[in-house]
Each structure stands twice: as structure tokens, then as C-alpha cells.
Amino acid sequence: MSVWNPPRLLGLAGMSLLRDEALAITALEYLPTELFPPLFMEAFYRSRSETLKAMVHTWPFVRLPLGGLMEMPHLETLQAVLDGLDVLIAQKDRPRRCRLRVLDLRNTGQDFWSMWSGDRACGCPGSLMAPVAEDRSRTEQPLAPLEVFIDLHLKERTMDGFLTYLLRWVEERRASINLCCKKLKIVSMPMENITKVLSTVQLDCIQEVQVNCTWHLSTLATFAPLLGQMGHVQRLFLSHIHVSPLEEQEEQHVVQITSQFLRLHHLRDLHLESPCYLEACLEQMLRCLTTPLDNLAITHCLLTDSDLTHLSQCPNIRQLKGLDLSGISLTYSSPELLPVLLEKVAATLQELCLDQCGIVDSQLQAILPALSRCSQLRSFSLRGNFLSTAVMEKLLRHTSQLPSLSQELYPVPRESYSSQGILQPGRLAQCRDELFEVLRVLGRPRVIWLNSSPCPHCGDNTFYHPQPVIYR
């Protein structure tokens, strides 16, 4: 038997008003606050541009989370909303009911629409008015430029009609509008276009930057001054920066890039993938860090012993929660360097990734004492290294007293392979049994995952045939 869900009175009222758009616009001055969100949604989905425009300059909340209604509003909808903002900007005296200060075009705000449309239950009727009370207290302050929030994902085809129209609109109203971006991701776009887009954005609003481009070092150096203006960046991801053997002024480019870190006073997470330009000059970048890091990833590049020494001596890594050195060859490093580094971060480290570092038995044994002192460690990954069953048994014993360790990713022991490097299921089963016996003796419930060699078809970071060893 099906359950009939009758329409809510708010929805019926909104639909009734929209049958006569002129009447709906006239009624906005007297419309109860709780009717604004459902009426806005009705007008949005029915493409009633004039109603949307009128609702913007009578909006009784500080924030209009337009992006929460769909992943990216249509151009027609955006034009209607921006036209409404134009009316608001042009008025010397703010309309009596209007509290609007922020237009949010990000994919956020779904809870706002759910609450006011009745899809999400509220604690009590009084809670419906809480946003309005908060908004009124905020708008008693002197008026500042209106803020428009958007997340930018810059790629070759990003400059569509929506973004082009928005940027042009903001550019023509610089005195009245601040375009704010919290997350900036650059995948592929000419530097000229990137510079043009960012010239419209309040750079000090950006908190997360991800550059995933195959740039030349000189291109990154050109981008660096823009990065330096993003003073509130907390998370920075840079990957696949290409250094040409014939590239001139390489040292000057590195200085230009690393010097910008002096201006990033809020940086907490730093992820550098394939930063070959830092080989033998990591210390230069570390000296430019101004705040303690929470997470550091330097992956898939060559680092010298001097680089690792400077890393362990850097005062801004003493409070690390996450350390990822995947793909950093430690085969030829001095055996004492990694233990010293782990000792420095042992008190706070929660995640450690040493995948594909060329670690062999002697190197793993050297870090076991320091590793066993990482009392906060939750996740540890050693995939892609070449270790014996005997040393892995020692590893399990040393880490058995780490109370928070819950994710363990280890390589299949080398005894599981033939002399030609082919995984042998029978040998693997025997190694798993031996490791299970160690877990049984230790007596602590535990799950470890054994991963075979990196898949040659899927790339270095993809491992296949995971095999859990479970002791309950």
C-alpha cells in the first residue's frame, strides 16, 4: 500500500503565487520570511527570472546559497540573480527587508534549502527564525562590498559562458563586489588565461591551491608571485613540474618559487609531487616556511642525503601529523637519516607513507625503534618495498603496542616471489600463515593488508591483489 504525501502548505503557497508573477513580485514586501526559500526554489526550477531578480533585492538572509540548488546554475539563472544584485547595488538605501551580503555559487548550502523546504526536520519552530536573527545582527555593521563565492577549477574548457559572464560582471563592479574563492584547482590552462581569471579574484581569500599541470619550471616561476599573494592558503598541492635539461636560469626560478613560501603564513598542508627541481636544494624551501606544518608530502623525486638531513632539522616539521615520502629512493641514503627524521615527529605523527622507497631489511630494522615510539600513529604504508617475512614479523612486534594503529598496508614478503619475480600463490599462503601466527601470539585484534608489486598497467601508485591477514 503506497503512502500519500500531500504537498506542504508552503509549497502550495509558492506555486499559487507564481501563477501570477506580477502578483508574486508585489507580494514580496509582505511575504513571511519562511516563504522566501520555498518560493525562490519554485521560481528557480520554473525559470521565473523576474521573480528571482526581485527576490534577490528583498532577500531576508545574509547568504544566498544559489550553488546548493544545483552543481552549477544555468547562465539564465545567474543573469537574473546578478541583475537583482545590480538593483541592490544601485540603491542608496538598502530595502527594509534585505539582509543579503553573500552570493554563494559553490556546491554548498543544501542544508539551508532542505530546512526551509521541509525536507529536513528542525528542532523547534523557533529555530526557523535563528538565521534571520543572526543576519540582522550582522547587517548592523557598516556595509562592505557584496561577496560572491565560487570554487575555481581551471582547465582548457573552463571559460564557458557562465564563468565568462560572471568574471565580466565582477570586473565592471570592482568597487561593489568581491569575488572570493576558497578552492583553486588548475589542471590545464594557458598562463595568460590563468592570470586574467585571478586578476578578478580576491587572492587573499584562497585557502586551498592545487596545481596539477605539466608545467615547465619557468611557468611555475611565473605563477609564483600570484601564489605569494594568497596569504591565507592552508593547503598547497604542486605536481608534475617539468625541468628541461636545457632550461636556463633554473636556480633563479627555484629561488623565485621558494621565496614565496615566506608569505604563506597560514600554510599547514604541503604536497609536492615529482618536485625534481628541489633535489639538492630542499633546504632553501624549508628555510622559507614560516609556520609549523600538519602534513608534508614530498613524493616521486630524488632527494640527497643533505636534503633529508635538512628535512629532519627543520623546526616547522616537529608537529607533523602526516608524512608521505612515497617514491623517494632511500636505497642509497645513509641508514641513520630516516630514523632521525622519525624521532623528530614521533610525538605527533598519525599517518606515515613510505611506499616504493626501495626500503630493504636493514633499513626497516633501523627505523623500528623510532617507529615504535610513534604513539599517535593511525596509518602506516610500506607498499612496493622488498622485505623478508622475518623482518616483517619484527615490524609487527614493534608496532603491536601502538594503540591507535588501525590501517596497515605492507608489501607481500619477498619469499612469495619466484626468482623471476612472479608471485607464487602457494608461497604467499605460507607467508600469510606465518604472519597470522605472529598476530595470534601478540594477541591483539588486528588486520594487515599485503599488496603485491605495483601494477604495470595502472601506474606506480596503484597496487593490486590486496590480501588481508585478519586476527580477531
For residue 168, is it within any domain? no
Identify the bridge partners of residue 149 per DSSP, sorted by sequence position.
104, 180
User: What is the arithmetic mean of pLDDT over 148-153?
Assistant: 94
User: What integer pLDDT is reported at residue 360 of this predicted model?
Assistant: 93
More confident residue, 213 or 235: 235
- Report the length, in residues, of the chain: 472
CA distance 258 to 289: 9
CA distance 269 to 294: 6
How does DSSP classify residue 8?
P
For residue 464, is it within any domain? no
Percent of the chain with pLDDT over 70: 84
Residue 140 has pLDDT above 50, yes or no: no
CA distance 431 to 447: 15
- Model confidence band, residue 19 (pLDDT cutoffs 50, 70, 90): low
End-to-end CA distance of the chain: 45
User: What integer pLDDT is reported at residue 15 of this predicted model?
Assistant: 58
For residue 41, is it within any domain? yes
Q: What is the per-residue DSSP string for 221-251? A: HHHHHHHHT-TT--EEEEEEEE--TT-TTHH
pLDDT tens track for 40-84: 888 888 888 898 999 998 899 999 999 888 765 678 888 999 999
User: What integer pLDDT is reported at residue 21 of this predicted model?
Assistant: 67
Q: How far is CA 433 from CA 111, 202, 207, 398, in A?
A: 50, 58, 48, 19
For residue 206, is it within any domain? no
For residue 94, is it within any domain? yes
pLDDT tens track for 444-456: 999 999 988 654 4
User: What integer pLDDT is reported at residue 264 of this predicted model?
Assistant: 96
Q: Which of 273, 194, 271 is nearest to 236 (CA)?
A: 271
The three cell numbers of residue 417 are: 616471489
User: What integer pLDDT is reported at residue 126 of this predicted model?
Assistant: 34
Residue 239 has pLDDT above 80, yes or no: yes
User: What integer pLDDT is reported at residue 45 of this predicted model?
Assistant: 84
Percent of the chain with pLDDT over 90: 54
For residue 321, is it within any domain? no
Among 36-50, 97-111, 112-126, the least confident range: 112-126
- Model confidence band, residue 156 (pLDDT cutoffs 50, 70, 90): confident
User: What integer pLDDT is reported at residue 459 of this predicted model?
Assistant: 45
pLDDT tens track for 377-420: 999 999 999 999 999 999 999 999 999 999 999 999 999 999 88
Q: Which of 121, 101, 196, 102 is nearest to 152 (CA)?
A: 196
> How many domains, in total, are found in the chain?
1
User: What integer pLDDT is reported at residue 413 of this predicted model?
Assistant: 94
Q: Which of 146, 147, 136 is nearest to 33 (CA)?
A: 136
Q: What is the per-residue DSSP string for 376-438? A: T--EEE-TT----HHHHHHHHHHHTT-TT--EEEEEPPGGGB-TTS-B-HHHHHHHHHHHHHH
User: What integer pLDDT is reported at residue 141 of this predicted model?
Assistant: 47
Owning domain of residue 79? 9-139
- Model confidence band, residue 115 (pLDDT cutoffs 50, 70, 90): confident
pLDDT tens track for 369-378: 999 999 999 9
The three cell numbers of residue 468 are: 588481508
User: What integer pLDDT is reported at residue 280 of this predicted model?
Assistant: 84
Q: Which long-range contacts (CB under 8 A, 24 or more apart) does 4-10 make?
A: 8/118, 10/34, 10/35, 10/38, 10/117, 10/118
Task: Look up the pTM and report it.
Answer: 0.86
For residue 365, is it within any domain? no
User: What is the arithmetic mean of pLDDT over 240-267?
Assistant: 84
